[in-house]
Structure 1
Amino acid sequence: MKKTLMLSLCAVLASPAFAATDPVSARQDIFKQFKKDAAAMGKMVKSDTINKDEFSKLAAHLDEVAQQPWQHFPAGTASGQAARKTEAKAEIWSKPAEWTKAVDSFKAETGKLKQVAANGDAASIKNQFAAVQKTCKSCHDAFRKD
């Protein structure tokens, strides 16, 4: 029993350390936060029940995490190259100018969403949320295997 408990404890304690050193895990964890925030905001937008305080918090969090995953794309972590399963296409590294433009566009649109969520009306929020979604789709189409 003690041995099982110790092995379980070691596994739990080692997991965050592995994630911190594994760029694929790190970026996937951040993208999961994107998805969670976007899903909650999307639900409000689709149902026409935008709680401005909650939406504003979600938009601010999305803008914060929008700055984070890009450092976790070192060379050698594309699909088929990385030790972990990933959908990152090699085009991220073979077309760095296009990749940077897509990343910068996403960051800009999430920044605008944060501002609009804090100050705008429901129509402006919906339009800006759609703009953020458009940048997501554009990046996925070019740089993510489906």
Structure 2
Amino acid sequence: MMKKVFVIGMTAAVLMASTLAAATDVEDAIEYRQGVFNTIKWNFGPMAAMVKGKIDFDAAEFSRRADVVAVLAKLPREGFIEGSDVGETDARPEIWENKDDFDAGMDALAKNAAALADAAKSGDMDVIKPVFGELGKTCKGCHDDFRVED
């Protein structure tokens, strides 16, 4: 009898621990991807201001920020784990329902961010602007399809 109680108690403890671990994993995944996207936004904003002429163009600063975004653009996908469509997130269910389309958007983000980093090395706003515009369209496309906007 004591052995049965012990086994049942241990089974319950393992199930509770795995449920808590899964919840933590989901919360961590959401926090991770939001952190990456916020850091992209942090770097994207000043570049957008330079492209729009709202602040003076600083080629070295623009290039540094473009390099950072190129690295960051490769990271968010791993934060979209199964079950992370609920909780404190603006992620729409379409991410998991249309995973191939979402993955294509993530690939385009990485590709276009790398292209911007390359264009930024020219230091020429005429070269940078159209590439920056393509990256902006990529971001907007995913936001339109896969993110709940405020």
TM-score by shorter chain over 0.5: yes
TM-score range, shorter chain: 0.7 to 0.9
Aligned residues: 125
TM-score by length of 1: 0.80
Match for residue 63 of structure 1?
A: 70
- Shift of residue 50 of structure 1? 1.8
1:63-102 Cα offsets, whole Å, 9 max, x none, are 0111111101101111xx23xx110011111111101111
Give the one of 68, 88, 91 matched to 1:88: 91
Q: Distance between the aligned counterparts of 1:120 and 1:134, measured in 2?
A: 22
In 1, are the aligned partners of 2:59 and 2:123 still within 8 Å (CA)?
A: no
Q: Distance between the aligned counterparts of 1:121 and 1:40, measured in 2?
A: 16
TM-score by length of 2: 0.78
- Shift of residue 120 of structure 1? 5.1
Please tell me the residue identity of whatever aligns with 1:41: M
Q: Which is higher, the Rg of structure 1 or of structure 2?
A: 2
Structure 1 residues not aligned, in runs of 5+: 1-17
What is the RMSD of the two structures over their aligned residues, measured on CA atoms?
A: 1.8
- Shift of residue 119 of structure 1? 2.1
Structure 2 residues not aligned, in runs of 5+: 1-23
In 1, are the aligned partners of 2:91 and 2:146 still within 8 Å (CA)?
A: yes
Match for residue 24 of structure 1?
A: 30
1:4-28 Cα offsets, whole Å, 9 max, x none, are xxxxxxxxxxxxxx79x71111111
- TM superposition outliers: structure 1 runs of 4+ over 4 Å: none
Q: Distance between the aligned counterparts of 2:65 and 2:123, measured in 1?
A: 15
Aligned-pair identity (%): 31
